Amino acid sequence: MLLNDFLTEWNDPRDTVEVQTSGSTGQPQRMQVRKSRMRASARMTCDFLGLRPGDTALLCMNLRYIGAKMMVVRSLERGLRLISVPPTSHPLATTDEQIDLAAMVPLQVYAALQVPREAERLRRVRHLLIGGGAIDARLEEQLRVFPHAVWSTYGMTETLSHIALRRVNGPASTDFYTPLPGVRVGLSESGCLAIEAPALCDAKLLTNDLAKLLPDGRFRIIGRADNTLVSGGVKVQAEELERLLRPCLPKPFLVTWISDERLGQAVVVLAEDEQAELLCRRASLPDYWWPRHWLHVDRIPLTETGKPARAEAHERAKRMLS
């Protein structure tokens, strides 16, 4: 979708616009969302970050998805000057303008840091929002020294982009997300995050994200409940295992599973490094968390927005081990 196409849809008489989910856990889905709620979400973010009319905003993501649509709506709602560039892995290759607000997926941030000129432009962004996937520990370490605010975002299509932000750099850096004003969170009986945001959703939204909640309402995401594997009667949380293995593996990898007659689910690691198993020998893992299979792949499957494509990874592991 082009920017003019979205603006035409936004300015038509209908009360809703169509958005598409990312497809990180299955097939992408289309849904209709209310324009009034998108405006409310835009105001929440702009107020939280202190954005003012005339500030610049960079649109560099695919307009099929809510993250990009919301950048346009924030610009319209707050009077920001929108700078639009193609949604490539190098969004700062063609612009040297001072940017007050930019939203990128981790892959775009990583790619920009590999090119000195783009890395310098990235460092000048006043508010850098990173969403659509977890920030790798090594990438986060590079971002910690940035002079301006870098934020990890938490949200989903159903919440109209992010409902909480986590500061990555500076004295206020933390592992916990702070909900935006008007958003309350809690935990379900299964330990998953529950979101109440009356301006954005009709009812409480129950997520599949396992979380740790602090008394002041801040929270940390542990991983998805549907990414919890049961191998030989032991629960293995895929994202937590990835976090523990990450210091050992310089190249991309992903934890998935296959059915196993004896174990029920056997833990599998897809890795772009042929020596992944050897490199992880000294990793400190909980009892019985050691992966059963290590598979070398040329490229880890990702969605268009840079998230791990876990359903595709599972299917690939099944084919490779069949």
Indicate the helix (H) or strand (E) that contains 221.
Answer: strand 219-224
Buried b vs exposed e over 173-201: b needs ≥16 C-beta within 10 Å?
Answer: eeebbbbbebbebeeeeeebbbbbbebbb
pLDDT in tens, the chain (322 residues): 689 999 999 999 999 998 887 655 455 678 899 999 999 999 999 999 999 999 999 999 989 889 999 999 999 999 999 999 999 999 999 999 999 999 998 889 999 999 999 999 999 999 999 998 778 777 899 999 999 999 999 998 889 999 999 999 999 999 999 999 999 999 999 899 999 999 998 889 999 999 999 999 999 998 888 889 999 999 999 999 998 999 999 899 999 999 988 899 999 999 999 999 999 998 999 989 999 999 999 999 988 767 788 999 999 999 999 8
- With contact defined as beta carbons under 8 Å apart, do 91 and 108 qualify? yes
How many helices (H) and strands (E) in the chain?
A: 9, 18
Please give the class, per CATH, of domain 3-224: alpha beta
Q: Would you say the CATH fold of 232-321 matches that of 3-224?
A: no
CA diameter of the chain: 62
Q: Which CATH superfamily is domain 232-321 in?
A: ANL, C-terminal domain (3.30.300.30)
Q: How many CA atoms does the CB half-sphere of 66 hold within 13 Å?
A: 31
Q: State both tokens at 299.
A: 């490229």
Cβ atoms of 15 and 35 closer than 8 Å: yes
CA dihedral for 219, 224, 225, 231, sign (positive or negative)? negative
What is the distance, to the nearest Å, from the Cα of residue 24 to the centroid of all Cα atoms in its chain? 10
d(CA 304, CA 62): 9
Residue 148 structure tokens: 């301006």
Domain ranges of the chain: 3-224, 232-321
